[in-house]
Every structure is written in C-alpha cells, then in structure tokens.
Amino acid sequence: MELKQQLVIPRAVEAVWQALNDPEMLQHSLPGCQHFEQTGDNAYDMTVSAKIGPVKATFNGAIALQNLNPPFSYEISGEGKGGVAGFAKGGAKVSLKAVTESGEPATQLSYSVEAAVGGKIAQVGGRLIQGAARKMAQDFFTQFVRRLCDDETIELVIETIETP
C-alpha cells in the first residue's frame, strides 16, 4: 500500500517540527493510541488499537526516526504485531516547507507512506486497507492540528496525491 498526501498547517515550520517530535502530542493525536513511549534517541514503542473492515486488533510496535534534517524532514520506519490479526510494517517520508497563507506563516506538510500487512488483515483486501489508512491519517492530522493550534473548529484540507 502506498499513500501520499499533503496539507497546510497554520503555524511556522519550527512549531510544526517541534510538535511532530513531541511524544505526548503524537500519543494524543494518534487514533486508538493507548501507549507511546520514547525508548531511546529517536526511537519509540507504542500500542495502538485499529479496526480495518471487520478486523479489530491491538498492535504493539516500535518506530524509529531516521535521516533527520531539522526542521524540514525525516523518515519514519516501524512495525507492529497484532497477534492473530497479523502484522504491519512500513515507513514514511515527512517533509515540511515554509509557506504563507492569508499573509501569515504556515507550513506545508507532505508525506508518503509505504506499508505492508500480513495475516487476517491482509485478507480484508487492499481497498479497505487503503481506506482505513486514509481515515487514520485524516483523523491523526485533524487532531494534531487542532491541538497544535488550540482550536477545535479548524477544518483541514488534506490533498491526496494520486500516483500512477
């Protein structure tokens, strides 16, 4: 599965970068996140519950940040195991770019995700997995931006970048 999206966040690049590296912010923004703990430099353990089609599972996993270029980009790699439901592993490239929106500093955040799943989850089918991944990303960034901007009314426009 591959997913590419971008959005504009009404905050300066440095503020977005700091929030993207704050374990508490990430835990409270990630749908179904029950546990998020830093285990080393740029390494985290987490527990996340997710529902993909008829399959609901709790995944225990780890992620690592690599190729850091503060405050503009990094890569995330990770994997999680969900018991009989299966496993998920993959990575993401995240980049930030300073832009101006309505005369104010803002940040264009772009990311691309590649992931693979196995077990019962893989039997659900690609369309359901893709749809669940899009929804999870939308929910994450909506909550992330609302917390960052301290504004429950913010509406995000997340643009999916189609791949040939």
The pLDDT tens digits for 96-110 are 999 998 899 999 999
Range of the domain at 52: 2-160
- The confidence band for 160, taking pLDDT boundaries of 50, 70 and 90, is low
Burial class (CB in 10 A: 0-12, 13-18, 19+), 151: exposed
Q: What is the mean pLDDT of the chain?
A: 89
User: 148 or 131: whose pLDDT is higher?
Assistant: 148
- The confidence band for 62, taking pLDDT boundaries of 50, 70 and 90, is very high
Is the full-model pTM beyond 0.85? yes
Domain count, the chain: 1
User: Which CATH number do you get for residue 149?
Assistant: 3.30.530.20
Report the alpha-carbon distance of residue 20 to residue 17 in Å, rounded: 5
Q: What pLDDT does 52 receive? A: 82
